[in-house]
Amino acid sequence: MNYYLSVDGGGTKTDFLLTDRAGRPVARRRLGGCTYSYIGQDGVCELLEEGARLLLRDAAAGEDEVACAVWGIPCYGEDRAFDGYVSRRLPRVLPCAHRLCNDVELGLAGSLLLGPGVHVVAGTGAIAMGRDPGGKTARANGWHEFFSDEGSAYWLGRQALALFAQQADRRRERGPLYELLRAEWGLESDYEVIRYYRENLENRRERIAAVQKLLCRAAEAGDRDAARLYEQAARALARTVGGVLRQLDFPEGEPVRVSYYGGVYRAGARILASFGRLLGEMGAVLTPPALPPLCGGVLLAAQADGRDDPAEIAETLKSFEEMERK
């Protein structure tokens, strides 16, 4: 039993990491998204099984050499039928200990190194999970993209499309977003956005989420309405943290650490400055993530394996993450 397997599933991509028991990475893989509402429960399991097989092949490792596998799966914990299906099927892949959880749990474990606090994901979707000093956990947001996920890239992408329409018909002052979308999508007239949406974006959650990148460019170019949407996203994410805090028991007077992860935060100060200020008003402190979710899965695997040295494993993972960035 020489290895830990960590799987961080998402709406757009699924990352796989195999490390030795000291936390040294051995192999990595990336496949497509694994949200069951889009690819079905069989599709989710087939993708996860394929990723695990490819990872072991890359490492020239046998199935019986994995000590523990941690599967971070979108929507896990929300549908009993789906949870039961994947809980029965995935353990057949490898003869080892398994831990199945929602993907946000990997982010919480990695960003705060298994400590108490709140972790807020703002990627394709948006969700937060917290753990108080007593070990109690709670979640907020992330119910469904149609009536939740406020502050996510998908939510911002939809807002960007609405803002384009409002700028096009002069309900709002035209800003950089208007010309940017027309140029990027080759629109010869404003109404061609409808055709573009139907042919390229409709029912493609990850593509709508990617529109957020154009919104960010517009905000950077001085589009005030685009910038305000990031303010609204920060408020939505702060409300999400507030929802988690009201479900948990943190000591009064001690600031609660709140970490973050996801593509929306690549907007930098445009989102983080407002988010940090709003968190401060509720007695929390914005804390850069110590490790990404994929490494959080390794810490959870080591914990399940009975290891009592997570700090040592975390330092090993940190050093390798720094090398990757260079």
Q: What is the pLDDT of residues 77-106, one digit of tens each?
A: 999 999 999 999 999 999 999 999 999 999
What b/e readout covers 289-302, taking b as 16+ CB neighbours within 10 angstroms? Answer: bbbbbbbbbbbbbb
204 CB-near residues (< 8 Å, 6+ apart)? none
Interval 148-165 mean pLDDT: 98
Q: Which CATH class is domain 3-113+290-325?
A: alpha beta
CB–CB of 250/145 below 8 Å?
no
Do the Cβ atoms of 279 and 237 come closer than 8 Å?
no
Please identify which residue in the block is written with the tokens 């009975």. 306
Q: Is 70 helix (H, G, I), strand (E, B) or coil?
A: strand
* Interatomic CA distance for residues 15 and 22, integer angstroms: 20
What is the DSSP code string of 53-109? HHHHHHTT--GGGEEEEEEEETTTTS-HHHHHHHHHHGGGTSSSEEEEEEHHHHHHH
Q: Do residues 204 and 153 make contact, with C-beta atoms less than 8 angstroms apart?
A: no
Give the mean pLDDT of 12-22: 94
> Do 93 and 52 form a contact (C-beta atoms < 8 A)?
yes
CA distance 124 to 10: 8
Give the DSSP letter string of 262-310.
SGGGGGTHHHHHHHHHHHHHTTEEE---SS-HHHHHHHHHHHHTT-S-H
Stretch(es) of the chain classified as CATH 3.30.420.40: 3-113+290-325, 116-289
Q: Minimal CA–CA distance to 314: which of 100, 13, 19?
A: 19
* Reported confidence tier of residue 324, pLDDT bands at 50, 70, 90: low
CA–CA gap between residue 36 and residue 67 (Å, rounded): 27
* DSSP 8-state class, residue 76: T
Q: What angle do CA 297, 301, 306 make, to 5 degrees?
A: 150
76, 122 in Cβ contact below 8 A? no
Residue 124: CA count within 13 A, CB half-sphere: 19
With 70 as the cut, is the pLDDT of residue 299 above it? yes
Q: What is the CATH number of domain 116-289?
A: 3.30.420.40
**pLDDT of res. 49:** 96
Q: For residues 32 and 90, is the Cβ–Cβ distance under 8 A?
A: no
The residue with tokens 């960035």 is 325
135 within 8 A of 127, measured Cβ to Cβ: no
- The predicted-structure confidence for 104-145, as pLDDT tens digits, reads as follows 999 999 999 999 999 999 999 999 999 999 999 999 999 989
Indicate the pTM of the whole model: 0.92
Helices (H) and strands (E) in the chain, counts: 11, 10
Q: Could you tell me the pLDDT band of residue 7, with boundaries at 50, 70 and 90?
A: very high
